[in-house]
Structure 1
Amino acid sequence: MKKVFHKISAVCMAFVVMFSAMSFTLDAHYCGETLVDFSLFEKTETCGMEKMQTPEPCEDSVSEKSCCSDEQLVIDGQKDLRTSFEQLTFHQQTFVAIFLYSYINLFEGLDENIVPFRDYSPPYLIQDVQTLHETYLI
């Protein structure tokens, strides 16, 4: 039960971190006071009222305010969690370089297969332990 609780809490904390660092934009198109279209990932479509207005010369007509409006709600995530490698100090860059060098050289193979016990013989068997304790593998 304890392992299940730990796994559930770890997944919940991962989602909290992911959603707090994520930013998104919500676009909405209003025609008057009525919401016509909204979109989370792409630009909203208009209701077509802008196309119905005929273009007239500016001198002859009085410009009226359009009844349509576009609103954009931007929700920014936390910028603290995103680290960039351009802001590393000299000591941090040195640490990263040394760590990568030692990590890559960690997995180099040996020139020959060294067996440290090749020159030593196994000890003599004085008594058979399986027969002594009467344990047999079937």
Structure 2
Amino acid sequence: MFKLIIHKLFSAFMAILVLFSTVSFTVEKHFCGDVLIDSAVFSEAQKCKMEAFEIEQTKITKVHCCKDELEVVKGQDKLKRSQFEDITFEQQIFVVSYLYTYINSIEELSKLVIPHLHYSPPDLIDDIQVLDAVFLI
């Protein structure tokens, strides 16, 4: 029982580990000057209130005070998936011969033989229990 619970917990942990190691996401940050205004992981970062004023100012001065940064965190994109053709010829022969001997080592269960299958009991002429007055009490 304890082994089964540990096995299931370990399997769930490994599945979650594979899931999180392959997920990619983007962190978006919005700075106004050198001050971080907002950062967002799965959505767009909120812009500061100075954004509308800055658009007008950049037409005049050509200098931006606000900036957006995108930081991409890439997950693992190459998982090793082995195919039968990837292993060497000797390993293929070993696997095929092992499977062949394993499958042929299992014997089929013989059909259950009932020796009295077609036997019909003799006809009863008299009921012996009533005749001898032997009853179970």
TM-score (norm 2): 0.52
What do you get for the CA RMSD once the two structures are aligned? 3.1
Matched, 1:37 2:38: yes
Counterpart secondary structure, 1:53:
helix
> Which residue does 1:74 correspond to in 2?
72
Say how many residue pairs are matched: 87
Aligned to 2:53: 52
For residue 119 of structure 2, what is the amino acid of its counterpart?
A: Y
Give the structure with the larger helix fraction. Answer: 2
The answer to whether the aligner puts 1:124 opposite 2:119 as a matched pair is yes
Aligned mates of 2:11, 2:47 — CA distance in 1 = 43
- Deviation string, structure 1 residues 91-134 (Cα, Å, up to 9, x no partner): xxxxxxxxxxxxxxxxxxxxxxxxxxxxxx934378xxxxxxxx
Structure 1, unaligned runs of 5 or more: 84-88, 90-120, 127-138
CA distance, structure 1, for counterparts of residue 7 and residue 58 of structure 2? 69
Aligned AA for 1:6?
A: H
Residue aligning to 2:15? 14
For 1:3 and 1:72, the matched residues in 2 are separated by 45
Q: CA deviation at 1:32?
A: 2.1
Report sequence identity in percent: 33
Instruction: Render the CA deviation track for 1:75-104: whole Å, top value 9, x for unaligned.
Output: 111221398xxxxx9xxxxxxxxxxxxxxx
* 3-state SS of paired residue (2:14): helix
Match of 2:89 in 1: none
Structure 2 unaligned residues grouped into runs of 5+:
86-115, 122-137
Structure 1 pair 82/47, CA: closer, same or farther in 2 (3 Å)? farther
Letter in 1 for 2:117: P
Larger radius of gyration: 2
Q: Which runs of 4+ in 1 moved over 3 A?
A: 53-58
* Alignment correspondent of 2:27: 26
Q: Quick one: structure 1 residues 125 and 24, their matched pair in 2 at CA, closer, same or farther if it must change by over 3 Å?
A: farther
Q: Deviations over 1:37-60 (max 9, x none)?
A: 1111121121032311364796xx
